[in-house]
Structure 1
Amino acid sequence: MRWYPLAREEARALLRSKGVWLLALVLLLWTYRPSYTVWNELGPDMTVGFLQFAGGIVVPIAAVILGYRSIVGERASGSLKFLLGLPLTRGEILLGKLVGRLAGIAIPAFLALGIVTVAGVVQYGLFSPLRYLAVFAVTALYFLALVSIVISVSAIVRRTTTAAATLFIGFILILEIFWQMFVPGIYSRLTGVPVNPYDPPAEGGLFLMDRLSPTGAYNVATNGILDAGNSAWHHSSAISVLRPGHSSNALAVGEAFDPGTAPLYLHEAGGIVILVAWIVTSLSIAYHRFDGGDLG
């Protein structure tokens, strides 16, 4: 594993920075969000749901801020040529950067989530350990998807400003913050099917499009584990939208489709497939461009 020393140095550099520990502090405040509605549905497993709130906007923004310069910054400063002088292939450099940044972000984040978990147990009692481990595993996969996207963009572009603009505008704003707001209009334009998000049609393509973002896919998978509803929105919204008499623009499969009629590709496990697709696709493109491109 010739890439390991590079990954170790990347992780150490991040862990020595204030940014990752600020992320941990924000996660402490952001994820501990008890709710009577969620408690009534999940009971003590509400604590497991706290982990899912890490899939809000905090971790994607942190991944971009802490990772967008990882490769393009070294290209701009000229230090990438030093790395190329080491007995490492370009693929190993890409892997070392990926693993190092992932570890540097995940360690403080999971430490914060561990503290939140302890607080939840003290306040609300013991939860299902299997459900917790499953959500934890999907959360780790989600972190990998986010870091893969950020590192890939950093490897492909030539300027730090291009990396920042691509990630903050294309990824954070469009794909993470506003995507689910755009989906009904985009789908209606593409298909001619009118979409009222408060009374969505039973259109498989609409619901598939709604869960294509990394966070949407993560929410689908973890909602399935929590048994909180098949939705790309976080579990508290998914639970609320399925309550009788409640109106919400959160798309939930159980609200639009009769039991047993939803397409197979809308199964909650599809969220994991989408996350893996983001990882494989982004890293494949990055490897192709980084391995064969001019790094001068």
Structure 2
Amino acid sequence: MRKLVSIICIGLVLIIPARVMSWGFQGHEYIGALAWEYLTPEAKMWVSERLQKVNEPSLSVVTTWADRVRGSEEGQFLGPLHYANIPPEEAQLDMQRDCPNRRCVVGAAMNDIEVMFDTNQSLQVQGEALRTFSHWITDMHQPLHLGYQEDRGGNDIRVTFFGAEMNLHRLWDSIMIRGMDLMPNPSEQAALHPLPTVTSSDWHAALIDWANESYQLARRHAYADLENNAELGEIYFNQARPIVEQQLIQSAQRMALIINAAAAQQ
């Protein structure tokens, strides 16, 4: 029944114009709300103090800031930081080749983590870093934000999904997450998927590992040997939707792990 309702929701969404933004506002906000459930009391205070400085009401809402400013001069500067494109013949991300000067989603997350962990930084500066980090870490978990360079992460691949024409990137960004009200609410989801007990002495290496996970998911599931103008439907949806849900949960957990660690050392 849940699968049937999801497909019906997809069908309804396909006839409604959608803002094309990574994971959509709904996906980002769900991740932020779920990450909040995983934070320690100390980390919740750490986040609240910093969000107050940047006039953002919650971790859920702040995850959308980098998309909200896309039409501004600042948003244009941030544009390349939403993704990292990798040549299809390469097996993994190479920071020098695919993210020169850290001008990609992985490098941007690294920069923000350094600020968040720097106890000499002001609440304002750390709040600004948290504001963008919360978006980069979520974008990193949308597989086509680590997609192929030659098709711009699926943007140049046209597909027909349940009869509606779109590009592959939009399908994964905006369409696959429709009907998310069928997923458990954040508090229930956190109870179903407890935060892993992970400690890291190298968050930069962890970010690269997570980016490579997304890249492999893109290769195996998003692209899946698709040809241009492929017709996709229930089979593709049923294979892709669990990947999307997994990535939403892992994104929230990993955001929380890093924030908890940053707060613990302040």
Q: Fold match, TM over 0.5?
A: no
Flag the structure with higher helix content. 1
TM-score (norm 2): 0.32
- Higher RCO (C-alpha 8 Å, min separation 6): 2
**Higher Cα radius of gyration:** 1
Flag the structure with higher strand content. 2
TM-score (norm 1): 0.30
